[in-house]
Amino acid sequence: MHVRARHTLPVLLAALLLLVMPGRAHAATPVYSGTGWKIDTKNGIHSLSPKPYVFTFTDTASRTRLTPYAQAAATQLTAVTGTTFTVSTTIETPPAVGSCPAEHHIILGVKYRPTGTKGMSHAWNCFTNRPGQIDYRSAWGGWTWIDSEYWSTSSWFSTNSTVNTARIKNAVTHEIGHIVGLTHPNRDLDGDGVVESFECAKTTYGYLPVMCSPRGGYTTASGGGQFTSRDTPGLKQLVANYGLG
Ligand SMILES: [Zn+2]
């Protein structure tokens, strides 16, 4: 009896471990949305690669204007994701819509009403389409055109110059966010059956995620252009999803 009892406990422990192990495996399931963030699976992006990405520019004037914005985004993206983002001085022409730029290139440019609509900027993103490879459906890179009206018309976003400056920065960061794999996290929070503009889960201090449509982000001098505390879990999840298909 005593001998049998001494063997029973290890067997029970082994059985319990077997029960626990599949639960641990579930931690490696990809996740595509959370409170105030959403990954752009509609455009095929599921993850962010650990290999470096580089910012380039469409022309010298855009490079002069956007380098500080790109640098701020690169610094935060590197800190949050662990993937290295650098800002180059390279000038390159974006591809035709439907094509993709060089791998891990994020091309930034400024032009007047790139979509034809007043005040609208737009990003075109790509994903890595190599089924069976670890980088399948990770962010490939892409390009964005930022509407020049933000700079050419004074107080475009606000008559408060601090807020106006922050919102211009947020607009650039928002488009970069699309290229690294985030989409608008707007949801029907008030339950009226309609997903409305600006209807996004806010930060503790009442700011919309920078990825909210049509815009969001911090409006302070130091916070403008930063991914908010609602956006950063999405950036981290993009990295966590890498290699999970
Ligand atoms: Zn957007």
How many angstroms is it from 45 CA to the middle of ligand 1? Answer: 15
Strand 105-111 to strand 139-147: parallel, antiparallel, or no bridges (unpaired)? parallel
- The more confident residue out of 108 and 21 is 108
Task: Report pLDDT for 12.
Answer: 43
CA of 244 to the centre of ligand 1 (A): 25
The mean predicted confidence, pLDDT, of the chain is 92
Per CATH, domain 33-240 is 3.40.390.10: yes
Distance 13 CA to ligand 1 centre (A): 51
Percent of the chain residues past pLDDT 70, beyond the cut: 89
**Which among 68, 87, 100 is positioned nearest to 179, based on CA atoms?**
100
CA distances from 110 to 1, 34, 190 (A): 82, 31, 36
pLDDT tens by residue, 1-55: 344 444 444 444 444 444 445 545 555 899 999 999 999 999 999 999 999 999 9
C-alpha 172 – ligand 1 centre gap (Å): 10
CA of 4 to the centre of ligand 1 (A): 66
Which of 2-16, 57-71, 93-107, 200-214 is predicted least confidently? 2-16
Task: Measure the CA–CA gap between 234 and 230, rounded to whole angstroms.
Answer: 8
Q: Are strands 122-127 and 33-34 parallel, antiparallel or unpaired?
A: unpaired
Query: Distance from the CA of 221 to the center of ligand 1, in angstroms?
Result: 22
Q: Does this model's pTM top 0.85?
A: yes
